[in-house]
Structure 1
Amino acid sequence: MTMFGRLVHYGVDLVLISTALAGIRRSTGLTPKLDDANSTVQGMIKQYLDVGERVIDYAKPWMADSKLFKRQP
């Protein structure tokens, strides 16, 4: 696998993890405890988790309009 291929693979994995954490946050309200981290690390983690939030915000309307998914009562 080329170096570019590995970077793309790791990037997609990181986005998937961020999206899973965002889904956990939305469904349970649990968030990472960042009190002990300095402000730079807190900002980086917040930006990373915001990527997952944006993916969910994009995917939700797409899935609602798709015929592959339906809402359960």
Structure 2
Amino acid sequence: MTLFGKAVHVSIDLVLVSTCLAGIKRNTGLSPNLALIESQTAREYTRKYLRFGESVYDYSVASCGTSKYFERK
């Protein structure tokens, strides 16, 4: 696999992990404790990463909600 292919694969994996964490947060209220991160810069990037996952989660739920392949019960 080329370097570009590996970068795409890792990027997709990171989006999936962030989206999974957003789903856990929405369904259970549990979220990572960012106060444990000592570096202010790393904490800010982690917040941005988690917010991106929430955006992907919201978009996915909205798309599924308007699709004929999904129904609410």
Moved over 6 A (4+): none
Q: Which amino acid aligns with 1:48?
A: Y
TM-score, normalised to structure 2's length?
A: 0.91
Q: CA RMSD in A?
A: 0.9
1:15 alignment counterpart:
15
- Calculate percent identity across the aligned residue pairs: 47
5 Å-filtered alignment, 1:1-73, equals 1-37=1-37, 38-72=39-73
TM-score, normalised to structure 1's length?
A: 0.91
- Which ranges of structure 1 fall in alignment gaps of 5 or more residues? none
Counting matched residue pairs gives 72
Q: For the residues of structure 2 that align with 1:61 and 1:22, how far apart are their CA atoms?
A: 14
Deviation per CA, 1:15-62, whole angstroms, max 9, x where unpaired?
Answer: 000000000001011111121323211101101111110101111111
**Richer in helix (by share):** 2
